[in-house]
Amino acid sequence: MATSVSIRDLSLNFGAVKVLEKLNIEVEQGEFIVLLGPSGCGKSTLLNCIAGLLDVSDGQIFISGKNVTWDEPKDRGIGMVFQSYALYPQMTVERNLSFGLRVARMPSAEVDARVKRASEILQIEPLLKRRPVELAGGQRQRVAIGRALVRDVDVFLFDEPLSNLDAKLRSDLRVEIKRLHQRLKNTMIYVTHDQVEAMTLADRIAIMRDGVIQQLADPHTIYNKPDNLFVAGFIGSPSMNFVKGTLKGSDFTVAGSTLSLAGYGFKAPASGEAILGIRPEHIAIHDDARKMPIALETEIEIVEPMGADTVAWGKIGGQQVSLRTSADVTIKPGDRVLMGFDPARGSVFDAASGQRL
Amino acid sequence: MTTMTMGAGDPRGPKPKRMTASRIGVYAFLIISALFFLTPLWVMLVTSFKTMDEVRQGFLFNWPANFTFDPWIKAWDTACTGRYCDGLKPGFWNSVKITLLSVPVSIVVAMINGYALSFWRYKGSELLFSVLVFGAFVPYQVVIYPLIIGMSKVGLFATLPGIVIVHTIFGMPILTLLYRNYFAALPSELFKAGRVDGAGFWGIFFRIMLPMSVPVSIVAVILQTTGIWNDFLFGLVFAGRENMPMTVQLNNIVQTTTGIREYNVNMAATILTAAVPLVVYFVSGKWFVRGIAAGAVKG
Ligand SMILES: Nc1ncnc2c1ncn2[C@@H]1O[C@H](COP(=O)(O)OP(=O)(O)OP(=O)(O)O)[C@@H](O)[C@H]1O
Ligand SMILES: [Mg+2]
């Protein structure tokens, strides 16, 4: 498959503040990439660099094989959707959609055809004569997407397009964006700090922190084989349990008791201070726990019924861990239960560097 | 549970308005202030409709016994300033010319300044802005002399374009500040969207920003119209004999030393001169407030 967007050694400083440093990403044609990270990590900055709205301090950007580092935004073959919609308030929806085409002096028949197609795809035809103030939030965001759509570009850039919407609309539009992607097969680069959006939409997720990409992989890998402690803790809710201990060969010692991590696929033999990460849903209890390579007894302290499932809090070697179990399982505070897990499904990190072992 | 019975004293519906002592105090203060400021206006008005004989009798506050329009006609048409006896009317038309030219020119310049300073930042643009704002605090008197020299050098001293340029220069700091702050409050994503859509400096200015700046422009028009109309100093110094604005002409009429002082004519002339800004205030007051409040306009 061809490369659609290629970012090479991109650096960006605001004065003395280094926001992005030597960042590299290759995005395949038709791929849906999600940039995920905490606030202020440089996601919008990266997107603005790709769009050409910020001058880069160093590095190159290629879009569809062409070096666009010095090109104007309009010449890069990108469309962008903003968090605040950024619709032109004094223009009707129709004019909002066609603005870019009219600026480019496209023949009006072609403009009409494109506006018609985009408004059909997004189901905003009844709204064409309205102004942005007369639209609800979800409709505004559709128009904003439409504005990128009419330009018939190769690459779509989304900067937290759903974060101004309420939960219900957000999940509706999320599905719609996914459908749009499957239909158009454009490359999409999508910024969010909502991990559900990231997990559901992405072909690959890039987790960012302080302007550095921590891991770039498909959602399954990100979730199950996080590269470092930051990624492991950032993804998943409730978040991954971290148990501090000492590693010697495949023996993990925590508070005097030793667990054998024989089933875990170490990248290289390691020993020293380490952190064992286990997802709450990978911890089994009662009879299921008996079948697990590691099983130990704990006292349940807190039980949180979530409806679909139940989260309970126990301890491993004196350290708090949460476990997620079916809502049907009866469990209450004070119970002593057996809990077990398979080290093959866990993650082990070096305590000092935070890197996966 | 016990059921609650609704007594007559239970609060329900709109809260009754009561006259408290502090409220009476506030009203009294407002009424007294209004009277204080209206009294001179009243004296001017009644005096302007009196004959000179009646004016001489004193009775400053009385309604005119012999109601006459003559002072008004004289003030407009035949009052003398030195050798010329054309009344205020040439000055009025000069002021109209100066205002009609200076208001749009100064506003357009400031609008472009404010737009460029808020969206097209470059190295030193913040510094430029600070310098510009600092300009608002420089006393006019300091720069008048150098400006006279400069204007004479380029042959614009005492000409209509000259006075328009002077008004544009002196209106720039405050108007640029006004526009820059207005534009800076607009979401920057709007500007980015314009750029992605391919609009350039002027495209974004004319198609996106200009239509959005109506509220602040109303404020600017009102500020400039009244400011330029009321200006005396620049008109006196830079306009030249030919383009002397109404305020200067008014001063000349009032200050004329030959003959008797015609208070009724002076009053009429003063009211005529003040009429334009007053009308602007009254007509546009509502929009003015709206424009000021529109800093928080949303898409
Ligand atoms: N114009 C600017 N001047 C100086 N610093 C800036 C500027 N814009 C952004 N920054 C800094 O760059 C960093 C990254 O900002 P950016 O907007 O890319 O974050 P983000 O990941 O999009 O965050 P969010 O999720 O809150 O949108 C932040 O620390 C921010 O303070
Ligand atoms: Mg952002």
Q: Which residue of A has its CA nearest to B195?
A: A73
- Whether A42 is in the pocket of ligand 1, judged by its Cβ within 6 Å, is yes
> Bridge partners of A295?
A340
pLDDT at position A132 over 80: yes
Sorted by sequence, the CB contacts under 8 Å of residue B222 that are 6+ apart come out as B280, B281, B284, B287, B288, B291
Please write the tens of the pLDDT for every residue from B142-196: 889 999 999 999 999 999 999 999 999 999 999 999 999 999 999 999 999 999 9
List, as ranges, residues 210-249 from B with C-beta within 8 Å of A.
211-212
Give the DSSP per-residue string, A278-337. E-GGG-EEHHHHHTSSEEEEEE--EEEE-SSEEEEEEEETTEEEEEEEETTS---TT-EE
A42 Cα: distance to centroid of ligand 1 (angstroms)? 5
Phi and psi at residue A341, to the nearest 5°: -155, 165
Under the banding of pLDDT at 50, 70 and 90, the label for residue B16 is: confident
**H/E run at residue B115:** helix B89-119
Query: What letter does residue B206 receive in the DSSP assignment?
Result: I
Tell me the CB-side half-sphere exposure of residue A188, using CA atoms within 13 A. 29
Cβ neighbours of B217 (radius 10 Å): 18
Give, in order, the Cα–Cα distances in Å from B102 to each of A155, A223, B149, B206.
48, 66, 21, 21
Q: Which residues contact A179 (CB under 8 A, 6 or more apart)?
A: none
CATH number at residue B184: 1.10.3720.10
For β-strands A187-192 and A155-159, DSSP reports them as parallel
- Tell me the β-bridge partners of A257: A254
Answer whether residue B213 is part of any domain.
yes
Instruction: Name the nearest CA neighbour of A354 among A197, A255, A215, A219.
Output: A215
Are β-strands A309-316 and A302-305 bridged in parallel, bridged antiparallel, or unpaired? antiparallel
Q: What's the farthest any 2 CA atoms get from each other in chain A?
A: 78
Which residue do the tokens 């119209």 mark?
A: B225
Is A156 part of the contact surface with chain B (CB cutoff 8 Å)?
A: no
User: What average pLDDT score do residues A85-103 get?
Assistant: 94
Are β-strands A17-28 and A78-81 bridged in parallel, bridged antiparallel, or unpaired?
A: unpaired
Residue B7 lies in a domain: no
Question: Same domain, yes or no, for B57 and B97?
Answer: no
Structural domain range at position B139: 89-294
Residue range A38-81, pLDDT digits in tens: 999 999 999 999 999 999 999 999 999 999 999 999 999 999 99
Is the ipTM, as predicted for this complex, more than 0.90?
Answer: no
How confident is the model at residue A214, as a pLDDT?
A: 95
Residue A20's closest CA among A28, A50, A29? A50
Q: What is the mean pLDDT of residues A210-220?
A: 94
| Ligand 1 neighbour A17 (Cβ under 6 A) | yes
| Closest protein CA for atom 24 of ligand 1 | A39
Would the CB of A286 count as within 6 Å of ligand 1?
Answer: no
Spell out the alpha helix ranges (H) of chain A. 43-51, 93-103, 108-121, 137-149, 167-184, 195-201, 219-224, 229-234, 286-290
| CA dist., res. B66 & res. B69, Å (int) | 10
Mark whether B272 and B182 lie in a shared domain. Answer: yes
Does B43 lie at the interface with A, CB-CB under 8 angstroms?
A: no
Does the CB atom of residue A38 touch ligand 1 within 6 A?
Answer: no
B44 shares its domain with B124:
no
Residues with CB under 5 A from ligand 2 (ion): A 44
| Nearest neighbour of B197 by CB, restricted to A48, A52, A100 | A100
How far apart are the C-alpha atoms of A125 and A119, rounded to whole Å? Answer: 5
Residue A38 CA, closest ligand 1 atom number: 25
Assign A9 a pLDDT band (cuts: 50, 70, 90). very high
* First-to-last C-alpha distance (Å) of chain B: 50
| Reported confidence tier of residue B6, pLDDT bands at 50, 70, 90 | low
Query: Is A85 at the interface with chain B, CB within 8 A?
Result: yes
Ligand 1 within 6 A of A209 CB? no
* Closest alpha carbon to B110 in B213, B234, B233, B228: B213
Cis peptide before B187 (omega within 30 of 0): no
With 70 as the cut, is the pLDDT of residue B58 above it?
yes
Of ligand 1's listed atoms, the one at least distance from the Cα of A208 is 21
Say yes or no: B193 contacts chain A, CB-CB below 8 A: yes
Query: Quick check: CB of A318 below 6 Å from ligand 1?
Result: no
Phi/psi-derived region of residue B252, left when phi > 0, alpha when psi is between -120 and 50, beta in every other case: alpha
The residue-averaged pLDDT of A326-333 equals 87
Residues B217, B130 share a domain: yes
Task: Write the DSSP assignment of A46-58 as a string of letters.
Answer: HHHHHHTSS--SE
HEC states along B185-202?
Answer: HCCHHHHHHHHHCCCCHH
Q: Indicate the fold that domain A3-230 takes in CATH.
A: Rossmann fold (3.40.50)
Q: Strand A58-63 vs strand A204-209: parallel, antiparallel, or unpaired?
A: unpaired
Same domain, B45 and B168: no
**pLDDT above 80 for B298:** no
Q: What SS3 string covers A151-167?
A: CCCCEEEEECCCCCCCH
Residue B37 has pLDDT above 90, yes or no: yes
Percent of chain B at pLDDT above 70? 94
According to DSSP, residue B211 is labeled: H
**Please, which residues bridge with residue A26 across strands?**
A6
**Statement: residue B4 has pLDDT above 80:** no
Please report the DSSP string for B56-82 in residue order: HT--TTSPPSS---HHHHIIIII--BT
Write out pLDDT tens, residues A152-168.
Answer: 899 999 999 998 888 88
End-to-end CA distance of chain A: 32
pLDDT of residue B84: 80
DSSP state of B94: H
B28 found inside a domain: yes
Residue B18: per-residue pLDDT: 78
Closest in A79, A82, A100 to B192, CB measured: A82
Q: Does the residue B30 lie in any domain?
A: yes
pLDDT score recorded for residue A217: 96
Residue B198 one-letter amino acid: G
Alpha carbon separation from A297 to A241, A261, B33, B271 (Å, rounded):
17, 18, 84, 96
What's the gap in Å between the CA of B209 and the closest CA on chain A? Answer: 9
Does residue B41 sit in the same domain as residue B155? no
Residue A225, both tokens: 């084989």
- According to the model, what pLDDT value does residue A55 have? 92
Instruction: Note the pLDDT tens digit of each residue in B245-294.
Output: 999 999 988 887 667 888 999 999 999 999 999 898 888 877 777 766 65
Q: How does the average pLDDT of chain A come out, rounded?
A: 92
Residues B158, B64 share a domain: no
Per-residue pLDDT at A15 exceeds 70: yes
Same-domain status, B128 and B194: yes
CATH of domain A239-350: 2.40.50.140
Q: Identify whether B75 is part of a domain.
A: no
Instruction: Give, in order, the Cα–Cα distances in Å from B134 to each of A42, A117, A275, B231.
Output: 35, 53, 59, 21
Pairs from B196-201 (Cβ < 8 Å, separation ≥ 24): B196/A51, B196/A53, B196/A73, B196/A74, B196/A78, B196/A79, B196/A80, B196/A100, B197/A74, B197/A99, B197/A100, B197/A103, B197/A147, B197/A151, B198/A72, B198/A73, B198/A74, B198/A100, B198/A103, B198/A104, B199/A99, B199/A103, B201/B116, B201/B120
Are the CB atoms for B74 and B265 separated by under 8 Å? yes
A274 neighbors A246 (Cβ within 8 angstroms): yes
From A19, A21, A82, the mutation candidate for ligand 1 (largest count of ligand atoms within 8 A of CB) is: A19
DSSP at A267: S
B29 and B120 share a domain?
no
CB of residue A41 inside a 6 A radius of ligand 1: yes
Beta bridge partners of A245: A274
Q: Which residue type occupies A256? A: G
Residues of B in contact with A86 (CB under 8 A): 187, 189-190, 192-193, 299
Residue B43 and residue B153: Cα distance in Å, rounded?
A: 47
Domain termination residue (choose one: B35, B68, B101) = B68
Structure token pair of residue A27: 């995005």
User: Which among B37, B68, B99 is the end of a domain?
Assistant: B68
Residue B49 phi/psi, 5-degree rounding, is: -100, 5
How many domains does chain B fold into? 2
Structural domain includes residue B74: no
Decide: A124 and A93 in contact? Cβ < 8 Å: yes
pLDDT at B299 over 50: no
Q: Specify whether B111 is located in the same domain as B42.
A: no
Amino acid identity, position A82: F
- Do B144 and B210 lie in one domain? The reply is yes
Q: Identify whether B205 is part of a domain.
A: yes
Q: Where are the domains of chain A?
A: 3-230, 239-350
The pLDDT of A244-261, averaged and rounded, is 87
Strand pairing category for A155-159 and A58-63: unpaired
A and B: number of Cβ contacts within 8 A: 67
- Whether residue B113 is found in the same domain as residue B250: yes
Question: For residue A190, what pLDDT band results from cuts at 50, 70 and 90?
Answer: very high
Q: Which residue has the tokens 């010449």?
A: A75
Closest residue by Cα to residue B196 from A115, A155, A129, A174: A155
Burial class (CB in 10 A: 0-12, 13-18, 19+), B38: exposed
Task: Kindly state the average pLDDT of the residues B10-29.
Answer: 86
Q: For the whole model, what pTM was predicted?
A: 0.83
